């Protein structure tokens, strides 16, 4: 009884963890389902059909490819633009600071649908047809703020004396930047880029408002499937994403540990 | 080598008179050059932040700020997709939209509020466990917290259709212990179903935004020095008093950040209401989506989106003032 009282918080915490992981487990389990009807919501019988033929449903693998393409491009642009802003905010004093801060904060402090609808209305008003470009432009826009936040936190936490030391040792400003500043900021930039990639790849609301009929990203595909029938292949993609991401996280943790040991 | 030496040799003697010269031309020139150099460096430094800011902020002005202007303009325009929209200052769109969708609006705030409170209740014990009780399992637990992010949001939301299905274990259990009777009386469920009810939507919203509550809570709890807990206990504080007077106040930044990060996206969401809810009881996001994408009634969509934005910004501003956490970014 005393044990229970002492560990009540841990039990409640683990219960929350179960609640937040249960859908992932369902996704994985149901990737091995062979559903009786069009929808993959109730268990019928075990099958590896979806895993051996992941592209067996029309259009799905194309949608994954499109999502990758958009996410990679959006990540590159947003990371460059966001990193520059983050350096300006972390390293310099300037007058328009309040304005810049609110330009970074506001996109995150608004429901996604507001940005989705308003940027759609810009494209509509200037007569730009919805499609690949409009999705990409919109994705870059909402990713910038997240990159700025991640990089700024890292740059503010960096030890400025290291750069001063490099200058004292006659490093040119370019050398200081390339060989001291950039490597130190790299984890923040990488975190921002990973966040941007994940957000863009999985974005639905902004894509829904700015996609054309031929630009079906993976989330758009799933949305359509939820109305006309969900093949288990969707779960295969979901499970594969989870496995790949877990491997990336574990890999980066191992790498971090090794670097720490070296240092 | 010898040539340079030879050249340099008379050096010290030659400039001497110039430097000491009454017109001070060399010193003046050197001084002027130094001042100019310092000035240009200062100017460069001053210009540097603007150069760094220009691409990113310019982008946001063009693709974030200007669209808000277009949205405002659209909300008081009239016309149709075929023969264009023109600015007619028709404010009637707002009252029309409100009369049509006031219930959707209030339902959104109610669902998002309920999901936020549930997130806080669920997230706090887990964040606390990770921060103080996990020991060497801490990193693993953190990975498990963000693991849901790694699978597509929509695929995971669809999984709730399986979990909450009418013949599933969860609903079977809830029926067996008569919890569905209680929730049905509260108007949260209908009959012995959970799917297509408000409870299902709130469950989905809570689930989808839970990590946004856990992570800020964890970040603020983790910063608390465990010795403060020991000190409180040494001063005969009960565990409850320690929590109420030490832990909770110190974790307030996380509570404020987490509630905003869950409430804001939940209030504008339309995915959970569409996939898990009842089509007769949707949220304002569904209304905007339908007006915009299905019937191309852009003015109404713009008006609804504008009001949603204004309400959220008002709530956020009020809340941050009240909670006193100014530095959220």
* Helix extents (H) in chain A: 2-6, 8-30, 49-52, 60-91, 97-108, 112-125, 132-156, 160-168, 173-176, 182-202, 205-210, 218-228, 233-262
Opening angle at CA A89, ends A88 and A93, nearest 5: 85
Per DSSP, B289 falls in state H
Q: Tell me: the pLDDT tens digits for A156-194?
A: 998 888 989 998 999 988 899 899 999 999 999 999 999
pLDDT given at position B17: 46
Residue B155 to residue A235, Cβ atoms within 8 A: yes
User: Rounded to whole angstroms, how far apart are CA atoms B147 and A242?
Assistant: 7
All residues of chain B having their beta carbon less than 8 Å from the beta carbon of residue A202 are: 149, 152-153
pLDDT-derived band at B50, boundaries 50, 70, 90: confident
User: Where are the domains positioned within chain B?
Assistant: 15-75, 98-323
Distance from C-alpha of A112 to C-alpha of A82, rounded to nearest angstrom: 19
* Weakest-pLDDT range from B30-34, B72-76, B245-249: B30-34
Q: For residue A140, which residues of chain B lie inside 8 Å, CB to CB?
A: 59, 63
The answer to whether the CB atoms of A84 and B133 lie below 8 A apart is no
For testing the chain A interface, which of B136, B154, B286 should be mutated: the one with the most A CBs within 10 Å?
B154
Task: Give CA angle at A30 (A29, A31), nearest 5°.
Answer: 90
Contacts of A208 in chain B (CB under 8 A): 289, 293
Closest CA to B298 of A133, A134, A120: A120
B42 vs A: CB within 8 A: no
Under the banding of pLDDT at 50, 70 and 90, the label for residue A147 is very high
Helix (H, G, I), strand (E, B) or coil at B195: coil
Residue A79, classed as helix, strand or coil, is helix
Nearest CB to B161; choose among A41, A246, A253:
A41
Q: How many residues does chain B have?
A: 329
* pLDDT (0 to 100) of residue B13: 43
Choosing among B62, B135, B136, B152, which should be mutated to test the A contact, i.e. which has the most A CBs within 10 A? Answer: B152
Cβ within 8 Å of A, B 269-298: 269-271, 275, 285, 288-289, 292-293, 298
In b/e form, how buried is each residue of B133-148, taking b as 16+ CB within 10 angstroms?
bbeeebeebbebbebb
pLDDT band of residue B272 (cuts 50, 70, 90) is: very high
Identify the burial level of B83 via C-beta atoms within 10 angstroms of its C-beta, where 0-12 means exposed, 13-18 middle and 19 or more buried: exposed
pLDDT recorded at residue B5: 41
* Rounded average pLDDT over A57-74: 95
Using one digit for the tens of pLDDT, what is the confidence trace for A24-38?
Answer: 999 999 999 999 889
Q: What backbone torsions phi and psi does residue B161 show, to the nearest 5 degrees?
A: -65, -35
Q: Judge contact between B198 and B188, C-beta under 8 A.
A: yes
Interface predicted TM-score (ipTM) of this complex, two decimals: 0.91
Enumerate residues 32 to 91 of chain A having a beta carbon within 8 A of any beta carbon in chain B. 41-42, 80-82, 84-85, 87-88, 91
Encode burial over B43-54: b for 16+ CB neighbours within 10 A, e otherwise: eeeeeebeebbe
Partner A contacted by B204 (CB < 8 A) = no
pLDDT in tens, A98-140: 899 999 999 988 999 999 999 999 999 999 999 999 999 999 9
DSSP state of B133: I
Q: Do A117 and B302 touch (CB under 8 A)?
A: yes
Interface of A with B in 158-217 (CB under 8 A): 198, 202, 204-205, 208-209
The dihedral sign for the CA sequence B280, B284, B289, B291: positive
Class of domain B98-323: mainly alpha
- CATH C-level class of A62-219: mainly alpha
DSSP secondary structure letters along B71-103: HHHHHTEEE-STT-EEE---THHHHHHHHHHHH
**Is some CB atom of chain A closer than 8 A to the CB atom of B318?**
no
- Using DSSP's 3-state secondary structure scheme, residue B22 falls into coil
Contact with chain B for residue A120, Cβ under 8 A = yes
Structure confidence at residue B2 as a pLDDT band (50, 70, 90): very low
Of A12, A30, A237, the CB nearest to B125: A12
**Neighboring chain A residues of B139 at a CB cutoff of 8 Å:** 253
Cα separation, B191 vs B141, in Å, equals 38
CB-CB neighbors (< 8 A) of B112 in chain A:
none
Question: B80: which residues sit within 8 A by CB, 6+ positions away?
Answer: B296
């Amino acid at each position: 009884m005393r044990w229970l009282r002492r560990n009540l918080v841990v039990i409640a915490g683990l219960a929350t963890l179960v609640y937040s992981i249960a859908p992932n487990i369902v996704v994985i389990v149901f990737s091995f389902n062979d559903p009786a009807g069009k929808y993959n919501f109730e268990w019928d019988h075990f099958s590896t059909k979806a895993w051996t033929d992941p592209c067996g449903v029309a259009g799905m693998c194309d949608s994954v490819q499109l999502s990758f393409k958009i996410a990679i491009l959006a990540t590159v642009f947003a990371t460059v633009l966001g990193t520059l802003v983050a350096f300006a905010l972390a390293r310099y004093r300037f007058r328009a600071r309040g304005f810049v801060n609110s330009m970074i904060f506001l996109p995150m402090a608004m429901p996604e649908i507001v940005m989705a609808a308003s940027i759609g209305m810009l494209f509509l008003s200037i007569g730009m047809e919805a499609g690949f470009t409009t999705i990409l432009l919109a994705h870059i826009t909402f990713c910038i703020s997240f990159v700025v936040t991640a990089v700024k936190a890292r740059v503010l936490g960096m030890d400025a004396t290291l750069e001063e030391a490099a200058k004292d040792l006659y490093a040119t400003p370019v050398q200081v930047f390339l060989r001291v500043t950039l490597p130190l900021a790299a984890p923040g930039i990488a975190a921002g880029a990973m966040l941007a990639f994940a957000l863009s790849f999985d974005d639905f609301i902004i894509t829904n408002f700015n996609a054309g009929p031929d630009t079906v990203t993976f989330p758009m595909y799933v949305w359509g499937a939820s109305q006309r029938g969900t093949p288990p292949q969707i779960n295969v993609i979901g499970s594969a994403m989870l496995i790949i991401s877990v491997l990336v996280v574990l890999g980066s943790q191992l790498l971090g540990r090794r670097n720490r040991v070296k240092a | 080598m010898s040539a340079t030496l030879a050249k340099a040799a008379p050096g010290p003697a030659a400039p001497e008179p110039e430097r000491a010269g009454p017109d001070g031309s060399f010193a003046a020139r050197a001084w002027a050059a130094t001042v100019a150099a310092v000035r240009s460096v200062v100017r460069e430094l001053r210009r540097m932040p603007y150069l760094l800011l220009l691409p990113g902020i310019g982008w946001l002005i063009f693709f974030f700020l200007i669209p808000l202007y277009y949205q405002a303009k659209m909300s008081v325009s009239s016309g149709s997709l075929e023969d264009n929209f023109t600015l007619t200052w028709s404010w009637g769109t707002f009252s029309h939209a409100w009369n049509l969708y006031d219930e959707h609006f209030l339902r959104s705030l109610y669902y998002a509020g309920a999901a936020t409170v549930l997130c806080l209740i669920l997230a706090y014990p887990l964040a606390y466990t990770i921060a103080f009780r996990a020991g060497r399992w801490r990193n693993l637990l953190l990975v498990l917290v963000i693991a849901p992010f790694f699978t597509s949001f929509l695929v995971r939301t669809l999984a709730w259709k399986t979990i909450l299905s009418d013949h599933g274990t969860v609903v079977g259990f809830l029926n067996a212990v008569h919890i569905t009777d209680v929730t049905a009386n509260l108007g949260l469920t209908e009959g012995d179903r959970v799917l297509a009810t408000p409870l299902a939507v709130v469950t989905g919203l809570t689930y989808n935004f839970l990590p946004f509550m856990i992570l800020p809570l964890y970040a603020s709890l983790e910063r608390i020095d465990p010795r403060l807990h020991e000190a409180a206990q040494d001063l005969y504080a009960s565990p409850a008093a320690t929590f109420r007077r030490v832990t909770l106040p110190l974790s307030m930044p996380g509570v404020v950040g987490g509630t905003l990060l869950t409430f804001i996206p939940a209030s504008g969401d339309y995915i959970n209401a569409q996939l898990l809810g009842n089509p007769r009881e949707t949220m304002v996001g569904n209304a905007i989506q339908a007006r915009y994408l299905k019937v191309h009634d852009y003015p109404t969509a713009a008006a609804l989106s504008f009001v949603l934005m204004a309400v959220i910004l008002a709530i956020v501003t009020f809340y941050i003032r009240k909670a006193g956490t100014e530095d959220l970014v």
